[in-house]
Structure 1
Amino acid sequence: MTGPTTIGAAPYDALLLFSFGGPDEHDDVMPFLRNVTAGKGIPDSRLAQVAEHYEHVGGRSPINGQNLALMAALRAELSRRGVELPIIWGNRNWAPYTRDALIELRDRGATRVLALVTSAYSSYSGCRQYREDLALTAGSLEEELGHDLGLRFDKVRSYFNHPGFVAGNTDAVVEAYEQLRARGADLANAPLVFVTHSIPDTMEDASGAARPSYRTQHLDIAAVVAEQAGQRLGVDLTWSLAFCSRSGPPSQPWLEPDVNDGLRELAAGGTTAVVLAPIGFVSDHMEVVYDLDTEAMETARELGLTAVRAGTVGTRPVFVEGLIDLVLERAAVERGESPARAVVGRLGPVADACLPGCCRQRAGVDSGVPALCGQD
Structure 2
Amino acid sequence: MMNMGGPSTVSETHDFLKNLFLDGDLIPLPFQSILAPIIAKRRTPQIEKQYADIGGGSPILHYTKLQGERMAALLDELHPETAPHKSYVAFRYAKPLTDETARQLKADGVKRAVAFTQYPQYSCSTTGSSLNELYRRGKAGEAGDIEWSVIDRWGTHPGFIEAVAQNIERALAKFPQDKRSDVVLLFSAHSLPMSVVNRGDPYVMEVSASVAAVMDRLGHSNPYRLVWQSQVGPSAWMGPQTSDAIKGLARLGRKQVILIPIAFTSDHIETLYELDLEYVKEGKELGMEIHRAESLNDSPVFIRALADLAAAHLRDYSSGKIGPTSIQLGLRCPGCTNATCGAQKSWFARGGR
Give TM class, smaller chain: 0.7 to 0.9
Farther off after superposition, 150-159 or 188-197: 150-159
Structure-2 change in CA distance of 1:356 and 1:221 (3 Å): closer
After TM superposition, list the pairs within 5 Å mapping 1:25-174 onto structure 2: 25-38=9-22, 39=32, 41-42=35-36, 43=38, 44-81=41-78, 82=80, 83-140=83-140, 142=142, 149-174=144-169
Moved runs in structure 1, 4+ residues, more than 4 A?
none
Matches within 5 A, 1:209-288: 213-230=202-219, 236-247=221-232, 249-250=233-234, 252-288=235-271
Aligned residue number for residue 193 of structure 1: 186
Q: CA deviation at 1:223?
A: 2.1
**What TM-score comes out, normalization by structure 1 length?**
0.81
Name the CA distance, whole Å, in 1 between partners of 2:319 and 2:68. Answer: 28
- Which structure has the highest helix share of the two? 2
SS of the residue 1:192 aligns to = strand
Secondary structure of 1:373 counterpart: helix
For the 8 Å contact 2:161–2:217, the answer to whether it is kept is no
3-state secondary structure, aligned to 2:218: helix
Tell me how far apart the structure 1 counterparts of residues 127 and 267 of structure 2 sit (CA, whole Å): 20
Residue 204 (structure 1) aligns with: 197
Cα shift readout 1:244-303 (whole Å, capped 9, x = no counterpart) = 1111x31x1111111110011111111121111111111111111111011111111111
2:337 to 365, 369, 372: 365
Q: Pairwise mapping of residues 287-306 of structure 1 onto structure 2 (< 5 A)? A: 287-306=270-289
Point out which structure has higher relative CO (alpha carbons under 8 A, 6+ apart): 1
Output the CA distance in 1 between the equivalents of 2:92 and 2:178: 42
Alpha-carbon distance between aligned partners in 1 of 2:328 and 2:203, rounded to the nearest angstrom:
17
Q: CA shift at 1:20, angstroms?
A: 1.9
Query: Normalising by structure 2, what TM-score?
Result: 0.86
- Per-residue Cα deviation, 1:137-157 (whole angstroms, up to 9, x for no partner): 234455xxxxx8212322113
CA contact (8 A) 1:244 1:258 kept: yes
What is the DSSP-based 3-state SS (H/G/I as helix, E as strand, rest coil) of the residue aligned with 2:114?
A: strand
* Aligned-pair identity (%): 23
Following the alignment from structure 2 to structure 1, what is the Cα–Cα distance between the partners of residues 331 and 255?
47
- The residue aligned with 2:29 is none
Distance, in Å, in 2 between the alignment partners of 1:365 and 1:322 is: 35
Of 172, 185, 188, the match for 1:177: 172
Give ranges in structure 2 of 5+ residues lacking alignment: 23-31
Q: What residue is the counterpart of 1:309 in the other structure?
A: 292
For residues 364 and 48 of structure 1, do their structure 2 counterparts lie closer, same or farther at Cα, with a shift above 3 Å needed? same
Shift of the alpha carbon at 1:188? 2.1
Q: Secondary structure at the match of 1:100?
A: helix
Matched position secondary structure for 1:227: helix
Shift of 1:314: 2.4
One-letter amino acid matched to 1:124: C
Aligned counterparts of 1:207 and 1:77: Cα–Cα separation in 2: 37
Q: Distance in 2 between matches of 1:332 and 1:353?
A: 19
Unaligned runs of 5+ in 1: 1-16, 143-147, 340-349
Closer, same or farther: CA 99–53 of 1 in aligned 2, 3 Å? same
Q: What do residues 103-139 of structure 1 show as CA deviations (whole Å, max 9, x unaligned)?
A: 2211222122101121111111222101101012234
**Aligned equivalents of 2:210, 2:309: Cα separation in 1:** 18
- Structure 1 position 352, deviation (Å): 5.5
The 1:374–1:53 alpha-carbon spacing in structure 2 relative to 1, beyond 3 Å, is farther
Could you tell me which amino acid in structure 1 is paired with residue 332 of structure 2?
Answer: G
Q: Distance between the aligned counterparts of 2:194 and 2:254, measured in 1? A: 29
Whole-Å separation in 1 of the counterparts to 2:311 and 2:340: 32
**Distance across 2 between alignment mates of 1:65 and 1:301:** 30
Check whether the contact 1:185–1:273 (CA below 8 A) recurs between aligned residues: no
1:303-359, CA deviations, whole angstroms, 9 ceiling, x for partnerless residues?
A: 1110110012223222222212221222223223448xxxxxxxxxx936711314x
Q: How many residues align?
A: 330
